[in-house]
Amino acid sequence: DAGVIQSPRHEVTEMGQEVTLRCKPISGHNSLFWYRQTMMRGLELLIYFNNNVPIDDSGMPEDRFSAKMPNASFSTLKIQPSEPRDSAVYFCASSRIYRMEAFFGQGTRLTVV
């Protein structure tokens, strides 16, 4: 049974470029979460979806960040334009709705130079 799949695993880009991170949740899971891991804030929730609908995007740091979930098996997190302070590990996670633990992908390490 495949887990949460994220791509790419590593991304190095120049400041000002657009970056797109991808996520395929576990089949049958209704909730999808995007997190960013930093030393200062730990795992920071950026946005989450229930049944493909964005429920809370209050964690998205700026308008440069956007996320979509066009269907139950795919989500993207886009940063445009990227900045060096966006460098972090970005995790996608999925769960069944309500009271079930979330399962994480292996993360995308983003480096903006």
Q: How far apart are CA 73 and CA 24, in angstroms?
A: 5
Min dist. Cβ of residue 108 to another protein (A): 10
Site string for another protein, 31-70 (x = CB under 8 A): x-x-x---xxxxxxx--x-x----xx--------------
- CA-to-CA dists, residue 43 to 3, 57, 93, angstroms: 19, 15, 12
Give least dist CB 48 to another protein, A. Answer: 5
Among 60, 75, 88, 91, binds another protein (CB under 8 A): 91
Q: Which of 16, 40, 21 is nearest to 32 (CA)?
A: 21
Number of residues that bind another protein (CB under 8 A): 27
Q: How far is the CB of 112 from another protein (least distance, A)?
A: 19
CB contact at 8 A, 9 and 108? yes
- Alpha carbons 14 and 72: distance in angstroms, whole number: 31
The residues binding another protein (CB under 8 A) are 4, 31, 33, 35, 39-45, 48, 50, 55-56, 91, 93, 97-99, 101-107
